[in-house]
A and B are shown apart, each in its own frame.
Chain A
Amino acid sequence: MDEKKQATERRTLLETILKSALIIGVLGLAGAVLAYLFPPKRRISSATQRRMRVARVDEIPLGKGKQVLFAGEPVWVLHVKSGWIALSAVCTHQGCIVQWDEKRLTLNCPCHAGLFDANGNVLAGPPRRPLKRLRVSVIRDEIFLGSSEEEA
């Protein structure tokens, strides 16, 4: 009799544990579904980011530039005569951040006086490679940055 009672109690305990596990599993599944349905907001800059809004066209007048963070690195979006140009702001010499010179229309490196034109070509100084160029597009008066032109 005692053995039968013990077996019944054991079975009840095991079933309780199984039911609890089932509830926990269902909750976990529901959590995953909710996380998929309501994803967390992406950060402004993400290494996997494909496209980013920069500004409205009238916010960057001709000859001016705006520095933004895109895919984990600073980028210059320049408004020049030929249109919109997006260049990595990281100097190809030793990695300093280049500055846009509105008067000379050049990008100057403050570390070793590297000089780039508005297309990213090396004009003077120690850099050997041009600045990395990124895709930029204007959609309904909004400027968007895309991935690197070389990669595209």
Chain B
Amino acid sequence: MALVTLMRARIWLSVIALLLLGGRGGVGQEQNWCIVCHSEVKVEYQESIHAAFAVTCVSCHGGDPLTLDVEKAHAVEAFFRGTPQRLEIPDLCASCHSDPLKMKPYGLRTDQLAEYQTSQHGKLLAQGDVRVAVCTDCHTAHRILPAWEPRSSTHPENISKTCARCHVQRDHGVHGAALAQGNTKAPTCATCHGAHGAAPPGVEDVSRVCGTCHIAERTYFEASSHKKAMDEQRLSECVSCHGSHAIEPAGRDLFDKVCVRCHGPGSHAQLVGQKIKTLLAAADESLREATQILQQAQRKALDISVYQPRLIEARSYFLQTLPAQHSLDLSYIEEMTRRARSIADEVRSGLYALQGGVAIRLLGLTFVWIFLLLLVGVIYLTLRERQGERL
């Protein structure tokens, strides 16, 4: 009896405390008494997007949220469901999230369940394997936050950690580095594997998956002699040279490391690779020098307005050549790098001439100063003469 009295006292104290503090969610405390007892999930729930939009505990767990009577709250008559089974979770979430009428006011899509069923996760779950990921594994059960919120488990910066709860944490190379620098447009696990429809891309699909972002590279690659040869030998197109997860920056050293994996040293194909590498290196070097001189000229406040757009043009030609490498079209690459180099060289010589002009002006200024100093001396001597003093 004393225990029951103590329990009731605790419940009422909690109720008073909650009322005083005020709930953060969209539902008043009086409509969702569940969190009075289930205080372990209170903070998580109240932070969630569900709480903000009045989706209460009862939506997922059933029961009566309007009573503090433990038995009535958990009564079967009140459709109390308890903790949903993993097998039930996708359908349970979809009872709202696949309903266009319910989702329309929030502007949310309703195809997640359909996509999930096509995924490796969904297929295995349908076979009764409950170890695979269900909605709550990625979105959490109670602290469900919109993906744009940085604390969300589905925010781009957190996705790899979320996937790594089950899968091996991988080094995500350049993509991971870009994400770590705050570029939320950089690809995450979900970008290549899909989010709800997660599945590993097949060998033929890899170039399409990479090509959704690297559009120019894909277009050039598909026109190249590599495409047919790799398809015939069922080689993974982009992955063969760039790797899959730990993708290194696509530097020119790849020509030395990668080509020889398939093409023998000294073979025609390997020499083409080396030629492309040399052309790119020469154009890059010319551009780098021209940019350096332009920056020097800028620091000296020289008028670089003629050279600036020319350098933009040269850089544009060079940058166009980078995806064009995938075409293996040597004449095109030669032409584009030649344009980049000749403009960069023209800019460089123009800027040298401009700086030379400045040197001449500086020399002139030095003469003027010498002249002025001599003049001061002459004035001094003249004044002394006029005062009748001897030198």
Contact = CB atoms under 8 A, between A and B. Distances in A.
Interface of A: 7, 10-11, 14-15, 17-18, 21, 24, 43, 45-47, 49, 69, 71-74, 90, 94-97, 110-113, 125-126, 128
Contact of A15 (B213, B309, B382): B382
A111 B304 contact: no
Nearest to B186: A126
A128 B312 contact: no
A17 B308 contact: no
B376 to A, nearest CB: 10
B87 interface: no
B320 A43 contact: no
A118 to B, nearest CB: 20
Nearest to A14: B382
Given A18-B378, A128-B185, A110 B320 contact: yes
A55 B171 CA distance: 54
B305 A72 contact: yes
A118 B84 CA distance: 51
A94 B323 CA distance: 13
B319 A47 contact: no
16 contacts: A11-B382, A11-B385, A14-B381, A14-B382, A43-B303, A47-B305, A69-B309, A71-B305, A72-B304, A94-B319, A96-B315, A97-B316, A111-B322, A112-B319, A113-B216, A125-B213
Contacts of B315: 95-96
B108 interface: no
Contact of A95 (B219, B312, B391): B312
| Residue from B316, B322, B391 with most neighbouring chain A CB atoms (10 Å) | B316
Contacts of A125: 213, 215
Contacts of A74: 309, 312-313
A45 B382 contact: no
Contacts of A17: 375, 378
A104 to B, nearest CB: 15
A113 B319 contact: no
Contacts of A46: 303, 305
Interface in B349-391: 371, 375, 378-379, 381-382, 385-386, 391
Contact of A14 (B214, B308, B313, B385): B385
Contacts of A14: 378, 381-382, 385
B262 interface: no
A72 B308 contact: yes
Contacts of A21: 371, 375, 378
Contacts of B185: 126, 128
Interface in B289-324: 303-306, 308-309, 312-313, 315-316, 319-320, 322-323
Given A96-B315, A113-B216, A45 B309 contact: yes
Interface in B112-128: none
B315 to A, nearest CB: 6
